[in-house]
Amino acid sequence: MNIDVTYKDGVFIPTHPVSIKCSKLTIVIPDDVIQQEAVKTDVSEKIMVNDHSLRNELDQILGKFARQRSATTPAEDKEAWHGHLMEKHKQ
């Protein structure tokens, strides 16, 4: 099957939604469309940058409520939530 994709910043994006059964594919790119001096792009680094900018956007939206809570472990979160529910549903 041939699928049209766009290529931007090291990522291939299908032009139409596609449901694929596996997580890895082989893409055949004709030699005549590959740049001789390929530009290296680190996709994971771009994702981290995007992740960070999303955090900044959320902080701007939340304003004074941004990051009020200190970092906790999942166990501490569970304990705090359990305590909250016990207090809320006291009889």
pLDDT in tens, 23-40: 888 888 888 888 776 556
Please state the domain count of the chain.
Answer: 1
Range of the structural domain that residue 56 is part of: 5-28+41-88
What is the rounded radius of gyration, in angstroms, for the C-alpha atoms of the chain? 23
Low-confidence ranges of the chain (pLDDT < 70): 37-52, 67, 69, 91
Residue 33 lies in a domain: no
Residue 34 lies in a domain: no
Residue 63 lies in a domain: yes
Residue 53 lies in a domain: yes
Q: Which helix (H) or strand (E) holds 6?
A: strand 5-8
The whole model's pTM is what?
0.34
Q: Is 13 in contact with 23 (CB distance < 8 Å)?
A: no
Rounded Cα gap, residues 73 and 47, in angstroms: 25
Residue 17 lies in a domain: yes
7 φ/ψ angles, rounded to the nearest 5 degrees: -120, 120
Q: Is 67 in contact with 55 (CB distance < 8 Å)?
A: no
